[in-house]
Amino acid sequence: MARALAVAEAVRGATSPNPWVGAALVRDGTVIASGATEPPGGRHAEAFVLDLAGSAARGAELFVTLEPCMPFPGKRTPSCAALLIAAGVARVHVALLDPDPNVSGLGIQHLRDAGIEVIVGDGADLARTSLRPYLKHRSTARPYVIARWASSLDGRTATSTGESKWITGTLARDRSHRERARVDAILTGSGTVIADDPALTARPGGVLSLHQPLRVVTDARGRVSPSSALFAAPGRTIIATSAATDPAWRSAISSSGAEVLLCEASPAGVNLDQLFGVLASRGIMSIWAEAGATLLGALFDAGLVDEVFAFLAPMVIGGAAARPSVAGEGVASLSGAARLREATIEQLGDDILVRGYIGAWEP
Ligand SMILES: NC(=O)c1ccc[n+]([C@@H]2O[C@H](COP(=O)([O-])OP(=O)(O)OC[C@H]3O[C@@H](n4cnc5c(N)ncnc54)[C@H](OP(=O)(O)O)[C@@H]3O)[C@@H](O)[C@H]2O)c1
């Protein structure tokens, strides 16, 4: 199961709207084939390892991180449960049941009905952690949101004059690029696009990754220039805006290659919950929110954040006018402050990354 989990993690970000699943076929204590979900339209992990193993799959034992799927209308690949039965696999270890209503226990039942022994729960905790975005998407119809910022020790993201490049070092910035390559979408606000004109691509190790997440920019008033760098960057862009914006601006944004998505207006701009519902309905399971203090504050105030990646540099900026990492309303009492669960700390050169879960949702 450890092998299955490792190969699944390696394809995270590249399989949406399908989950990133890993599988390993074992015979006489030896892994004879392992592999993970292919990009959409490709094989699921089980089909991949069965193809690799060929006739050696007969009588072998399969370890898989998520319940094998069942057929349903519109499904593009054959049912994995049926493939496992046809291949003559003797025993199947499943880490997690699939909450997708099309599967949800049916895959396991199908295997058991065919006389295959099925053992559930081996590696469940690790699989649940790995699949958090998928599990949230399937159980709430909303994407999993990771709030990311880089700040000084005193929580500032820029000096009082607005200088912000760079607070953290190359290792921390590269880590952000690696995480961008593992999500479906990057979210930012008009304030960041106007101030920094970022490309918002995933470039781990300085190299454009094959998978470029969708870029989503909240811009209720139509302030982003159609000549912004992100429109020319590889990958797709959505500008989430309101119907109150100038139609000429909207058509200039469309001409730059981006999609204009009309959202309901909210006091802070666009209705984020509605936007996230639309993104989820399009198969966006995970969002990396790399935004300024205004949008991050709105996300925290609305309880829309599931995980935090806070990169902290060992420097003090100070100054009442310097920008904070998170603005919004905040909380009035410390007891109301959101605390990270299962927080971890990683050292990246001189910087540290504080990571943890937050918000009401738990898998
Ligand atoms: N250090 C870091 O980690 C980091 C990361 C990213 C950015 N930054 C810095 O952050 C600064 C920009 O921050 P910012 O706070 O001005 O901009 P921001 O948070 O990136 O964008 C905020 C804008 O998004 C729009 N928006 C639309 N709907 C919204 C909603 N429901 N809630 C909140 N905002 C919504 C609003 O503009 P409209 O009214 O026009 O819609 C709002 O002003 C830049 O200087 C950039 O360098 C730092």
Q: Is 46 a catalytic residue?
A: yes
Residue 44 — pLDDT band, cuts 50, 70, 90?
very high
Instruction: With respect to residue 197, please indicate whether it lies within any of the assigned structural domains.
Output: yes
The average pLDDT across 347-362 equals 97
User: H helices of 247-319, where?
Assistant: 247-255, 272-281, 293-301
pLDDT at residue 76, rounded to an integer:
65
* CB of residue 306 inside a 6 A radius of ligand 1: no
Kindly report the pTM of this predicted structure: 0.96
**Whether residue 175 has pLDDT greater than 90:** yes
Same-domain pairing of 185 and 326: yes
In angstroms, what is the span from residue 312 Cα to ligand 1's centroid? Answer: 19
| Domain end residue (candidates: 114, 130, 146) | 130
pLDDT at residue 22, rounded to an integer:
98
Q: What tens digit of pLDDT does each residue of 207-248 get?
A: 999 999 999 999 999 999 999 999 999 999 999 999 999 999
Instruction: With respect to residue 51, please indicate whether it lies within any of the assigned structural domains.
Output: yes
Ligand 1 atom closest to the Cα of residue 293 is 15
**Whether residue 110 has pLDDT greater than 70:** yes
Same-domain pairing of 77 and 141: no
**Whether residue 77 has pLDDT greater than 70:** no
Instruction: With respect to residue 363, please indicate whether it lies within any of the assigned structural domains.
Output: no
**Whose alpha carbon is nearest atom 6 of ligand 1?**
291
| Domain end residue (candidates: 102, 130, 158) | 130
**Whose alpha carbon is nearest atom 34 of ligand 1?**
295
Q: What tens digit of pLDDT does each residue of 82-105 get?
A: 999 999 999 999 999 999 888 889
Give the total number of structural domains in the chain: 2
Indicate the burial class of 223 (C-beta count within 10 angstroms; 0-12, 13-18, 19 or more). Answer: middle
Sequence-distant (6+) residues with CB within 8 A of 318 are 154, 156
Same-domain pairing of 120 and 158: no
Ligand 1 atom closest to the Cα of residue 266 is 31
pLDDT at residue 78, rounded to an integer:
72
Of all helices (H) and strands (E), which one includes residue 229?
helix 229-232
Instruction: With respect to residue 83, please indicate whether it lies within any of the assigned structural domains.
Output: yes
The average pLDDT across 53-80 equals 89
pLDDT at residue 182, rounded to an integer:
96
* CB of residue 263 inside a 6 A radius of ligand 1: no
In angstroms, what is the span from residue 131 Cα to ligand 1's centroid? Answer: 29
* CB of residue 191 inside a 6 A radius of ligand 1: yes
The per-residue b/e assignment along 109-138, b for 16 or more CB within 10 angstroms, e otherwise, is ebbeeeebebeeebbeebbeebbbbbbbbb
- Cis amide leading into 20 (omega within 30): no
The average pLDDT across 298-302 equals 97
Q: What tens digit of pLDDT does each residue of 302-345 get?
A: 999 999 999 999 999 999 999 999 999 999 999 999 899 999 99
pLDDT at residue 162, rounded to an integer:
86
- Compute the mean pLDDT over every residue in the chain, rounded to the nearest whole number: 96
Segments forming the whole domain that contains residue 6:
2-130
pLDDT at residue 134, rounded to an integer:
97
* CB of residue 299 inside a 6 A radius of ligand 1: no
* CB of residue 195 inside a 6 A radius of ligand 1: yes
The residue to which tokens 């493939």 are assigned: 83
* CB of residue 157 inside a 6 A radius of ligand 1: yes
Same-domain pairing of 35 and 152: no
Sequence-distant (6+) residues with CB within 8 A of 161 are none
